Amino acid sequence: MGRRLPSRREALHMLEEAGCSPEVIEHCKDVASLALDIARACLRAGARVDLRLIEVGALLHDIGRSMTHSIEHVFLGAELAEEMGLDERLVRIVLTHSCGVSPGLAEEMGLAPEACEPKTLEEKIIAYADKLVERGRVLAFEEALNKLVEELGPDHLAVKNLLKIRGELLALLGGELDACCRLGKSLRTT
C-alpha cells in the first residue's frame, strides 16, 4: 500500500473498519474541527502547517481506542497505523497525541519517553485540540488542564507538555488562540 495520507473519507472509513465506536468517531471529528481552526490561525500568523495532515491526523489520532480506552491506545493505535501502511507523520500523531506518557510506561513499551511527546507543530496542535474537546464542545483551557492534573497529577509529563504547547501557541497566535478555542464552542453542525 505504501506510506500515504488517506483522504478524510478514507480516514473515517478506517476508524469504522478498526471498530471504533460512534462516540470515538464523533470525538475524532470534533478534534479535527478544532485542530483545523487552530492550524488555519497558524497559517495566517505565517507558520508552515500542513492542513491535510492536521485533518487526517486528528481524525485518526484515537484509532487505538478500537482496542482499548487505556493509555495504551496510543501505542496500539500507532502500531495499527504502521500496519496500515500510513505515513510516518500519522503514526507519530497517533503516538504523541496524549502529550506524553510516564517514563516507565514508555520504556515498558520499548520506547524512550521523549518518543511519545509531540514535536512538530502538527503534532502539538492535535494534542492540544484533543485535550480541549469534550462531548462536542470546547473546554476552557484551565478546565482541561485541571482535568488532566486531577487524572495524572501536576508533575506528569503530559501536564508539563500541555502547558508548554499552550505557551508556544500563544506566542505564535496571541489572543487568536483563545478565539479559535472559544469556551463552550460547539463543534458539531448536526
| Number of domains the chain contains | 1
> How far is 73 from 46, CA to CA, in rounded Å?
34
Does any domain span residue 48? yes
Could you read off the pLDDT tens digit of each residue along the chain, which spans 190 residues? 347 899 999 999 999 999 999 999 999 999 999 999 999 999 999 999 999 999 999 999 999 999 999 999 999 999 999 999 999 999 999 999 999 988 888 888 888 878 899 999 999 999 999 999 998 889 999 999 999 999 999 999 999 999 999 999 999 998 889 888 875 556 664 4
Q: Which of 67, 162, 157 is nearest to 106 (CA)?
A: 157
Does any domain span residue 38? yes
pTM: 0.94
> How far is 59 from 34, CA to CA, in rounded Å?
11
* CB 61 within 8 Å of CB 31: yes
Does any domain span residue 2? no
Does any domain span residue 189? no
* CB 61 within 8 Å of CB 94: yes
